[in-house]
Structures are given as C-alpha cells and as structure tokens.
Amino acid sequence: MHVFVTGGAGFIGANLVEFHLARGDRVTAMDDLSTGIADNVAAFSHYDTYRFERGDILDWRGLAGAVASADRIYHMAAVVGMFRVLNQPVEVTRVNVVGTEMLANAAAMRGVRRMVFVSTSKVNGESTSGVPFTEGASPHPQDPYAVSKWEAEEALRSVAARTGLEIAIVRPPLVYGPGVHANFLRLMKWVERGIPLPLPDIRNRRSLIGVENLADFLVRCARHPAAANATFLVSDGEDLSTRDLITRLAKALGRSARFLPVPELVIRFAARLVGKEAAVDRLFGSLVIDSDTARQSLAWKPPLSLDAGLADTARWYLQSSRPMARPKPALCQ
C-alpha cells in the first residue's frame, strides 16, 4: 500500500508515518514545516519506502503530483494554535477549508480510493452536560478553528458526492502521547517539577485519546469498508476528571500530585480579570464523547489503555532531551 500523509512531520502525522513504515508500506509525507518538526523527517530518512515533500496544501500542481499513485490519503495539515487561529482568520479558511477541498479534488482526479480526514470533536461543541457527543448530534462549532473544520467536512462530503471519492471523517478529543506539545506538555512540566496546581476538587469528565490509539484507528478507517463516507468520534474509552488526569499523570512521572485548594469562584474571577475565561471553562468543564459507533462499526478497540498511554508519554518526557523525540510505536492491528 502507498499512503500519502499531509502534516506528516507533526505530532499525529509522524506517529502515523512510523506506523505505516513499520508495516512495510510506502509513505509519502508532506508538510510545510511551519509547525511540523524537521527531526520527524530525518528520523525516517533511512527507510527506502519513505519520501518527504516540503509543500503547500494550496499548491494545486504540487498536490496533484504528490498524490499520484497513492492508495490512501490521511489529511492532517491545518492552521492550529489559538494565536494563529485568532490572528490569521483568512489563512485559517484558506488552509483548513480551501486546502482540504483542493486535496480531495486532486485525490479524486488521480483515482485515489479513500481519504481519511482528521477533524476535531470541537465540531460538536466545547462542552457536554450529562449527554455525551455522538455522531448524530447537531454540530455546534464555536471558535474559528472548529468552524473551519466543520466547513472542511461539508466540502469533503460535497466532493465525495460529486466524484465518488470515499471520505472517512474522524473527530478526536484531546490527543496526548509521546511527542505531545502545547498545554499537555506544559502540564507535564508543572507536575514533574512538583508545582502545586490551584485546582478545586471538581467532578468534571473529559475524553482523551492516545496518539498510538488514534493512529491505529486512522489506519482502520483507511482500510475498513464500513468507514467509507462515515464520521466517527473516537477516544480511549475512559473519561477522567481534570484532577484524576493530573493524579494519574503524576504517578506515571513518579511524582505525587499537589493541589492548592483554591475555590472555583476565586479562580474564575481571576481568569476573568486576565481574559482566560475560556481556558478555565475547559479546565473545569466536561467534554465526553461516545465512541461506540467507532468500536462497533469497525470492530475496533484501543491497543493501549489510558494508563499505558500516559506511561509511554511520561517515559518519553523523562528520557528525552528533545521535545519531539518519540519511541517506536507498536504495530497497528
């Protein structure tokens, strides 16, 4: 099999590339390296079945050439990060929506059979209250990034209906694992250093998925007949409160979780003063997804438990002096 991976030097993309190379598949990865890590390209250079192209998702000629002979496409390239999303709204639409549609058209023109698109659970909304998100629930994207992903999904459905290209859409929640960055990496640093965290004993629930589990599921979507033109919410299957997550992460890091018993109202008031209300809402709120459709329709189960995934993440963090070095993952099912 020959697969084409956009965002192939990024966190999720590099894990997916390594999974396929370990199986003996041919891989063409594309990334503009604006957020991808060059080390994730060099790490695969010794594979005869690996080819990297530094390219632009909006370059039609480059796309059409890059996807030639590919059997499957995984699309993860996107403008991410709240600063970029809020300050580059035109670029968000161009890359996340127009670029996605261009890639799908190029794939259809070249005879690619299926494209797997990594969207986000934020398409469903920012929080849940008692009822988990399901694939059948009405979309409720609230920030520009989530809106762009929803518009990209709609564009893909239109291309699929017009051309016959099979589309599989995957909406993961927070993704963690070896090589993780942003807020999760900052959280590990705080916990590992023993910094007490101002967090009341809240009973929220949040779904997560380990990057190894997500890569395994994406491969299943690329191959399974039932994934054609379907949308899936997928998670590890164990939902934790923020406090429980920190406690388990501390254990994986060989530390004890330390909390400051600051009342929630005090934290929310302070957050309002500094414009961080949305961040506190995510910290205290619940976001639970129902991944039964993914498990039943594709006969899939996560290869790693949540605790095993956290242990892998902690091991990477403790052993690596480079933020994006990753251990070799297990083979996909």
Catalytic residue numbers read 145
The token pair at 128 is 């849940």
CB 291 within 8 A of CB 136: no
- Cα–Cα distances in Å, from 134 out to 220, 231, 288? 19, 10, 9
- At which residue do the structure tokens 């790693």 appear? 304
Phi, psi at 103, each rounded to 5° = -60, -45
208 within 8 A of 236, measured Cβ to Cβ = yes
User: 284: closest CA among 166, 194, 200, 171?
Assistant: 200
CA-to-CA distance for 285 and 293, rounded, in angstroms? 24
Q: C-alpha distances in angstroms, 69 versus 5, 41, 77, 160? A: 13, 21, 20, 19
The SS3 call for residue 45 is: coil
Distance CA 312, CA 52 (A): 27
Q: Quote the CA–CA distance of 226 and 324 in Å, as a whole number.
A: 34
CA distances from residue 102 to 73, 155, 187, 263 in whole angstroms, order as listed = 13, 10, 37, 49
Please report, as a single letter, which amino acid is at residue 147: V
